[in-house]
Amino acid sequence: MSEDFSNVNEQSEPSSGGAQMPMGIFIGLILLGYIGCYKVDQLNANFAANVHAPFTEPDEVASLAPSARELLVARGKQIYSKSCVACHQANGAGSGTDIPPLAGSEWVKGDPATIVAIAQMGLIGPISVAGKNYGAGTMTPAGETLSADEMAAVISYIRIEWGNGGDTISTDEVNAARKAVNDSSQSGQWTVEGLKAAGFAIPE
Ligand code: HEC
């Protein structure tokens, strides 16, 4: 008697097992991995031992970062070179005739609020600076459009630079001085007398 196999294994049974990733994607991934490693290697100078020398700890590197004071003064120098340098010169010496010096100026070494007031509104001489009288030139309100941060930076810079030996001034001090300028209802450039009348400290 012949057996009836008609319902057996006509098609193979479904089996479980790893489906294969398409070859293209597989090769693509290997390629990406290779390029990635190559890039990391390249950006780190092939991990050369001397690249990070002489530092071995992140703390050592951090200890060399500029201080807040150095950053402020550096920023002030940039602002000075835009807003003030045309008249007072990079060396702070002025012109020797119409423009008074900021280097060695008793005004710059004096009360910072007075400097804010001058930078805010400008100044018309006569004015005595470092033993010499000026008045032929006029100072425009060169700091009028500076933010309080920028004003603090540029004034900190001129107070410290050129051996002036002063200290930084804060944004709060700038805001307080600006308020005093507003309260004085001064319009137009200051005169030395006007500064004095508004209560700003004037060097002797
Ligand atoms: C257009 C030219 C000009 C520009 C720009 C200028 N100044 Fe002056 N500045 C003068 C003149 C001129 C005087 C003296 C006033 C006078 O002779 O009438 C003066 C006086 C001063 C004084 C007081 C006197 C002294 O020499 O210490 C200070 C402080 C000062 N300027 C700071 C600044 C700062 C800060 C800036 C930039 C934000 C600036 N000036 C931009 C021309 C200028």
* pLDDT for res 103: 98
Over the range 80-117, which residues count as b (16 or more CB within 10 Å of their CB) and which as e? beebbeebbbeebebeeeebbbbbebebbbbbbbbbbb
* Residues 86 and 165 grouped into a single domain: yes
* Residues 81 and 162 grouped into a single domain: yes
* Residues 111 and 42 grouped into a single domain: no
Domain end among 33, 65, 97 = 65
Domain holding 45, by residue range, is 24-65
For ligand 1, the distance from its centroid to the CA atom of residue 70, given in whole angstroms, is 24
For ligand 1, the distance from its centroid to the CA atom of residue 154, given in whole angstroms, is 13
pLDDT tens for each residue of 122-137? 999 999 999 999 999 9
* pLDDT for res 10: 66
* pLDDT for res 50: 74
* pLDDT for res 44: 78
pTM over the 0.85 mark = no
In this structure, what CATH number is given to the domain that contains residue 136?
Answer: 1.10.760.10
* pLDDT for res 62: 87
- Which residues, 6 or more positions from 20, have their beta carbon under 8 angstroms from its beta carbon? none
Inside any domain, residue 154: yes
CB 73 within 8 A of CB 160: yes
Q: Which positions of the chain have pLDDT values less than 70?
A: 1-10
* Residues 133 and 162 grouped into a single domain: yes
**How many angstroms separate the CA atoms of 45 and 52, rounded?**
10
* Residues 39 and 121 grouped into a single domain: no
Q: What residues flank ligand 1, with Cβ below 6 Å?
A: 83-84, 86-88, 98-102, 105, 107-108, 115, 118-119, 123-125, 127, 129, 134-135, 137-140, 142-143, 154, 158
**Number of domains into which the chain is organized:** 2
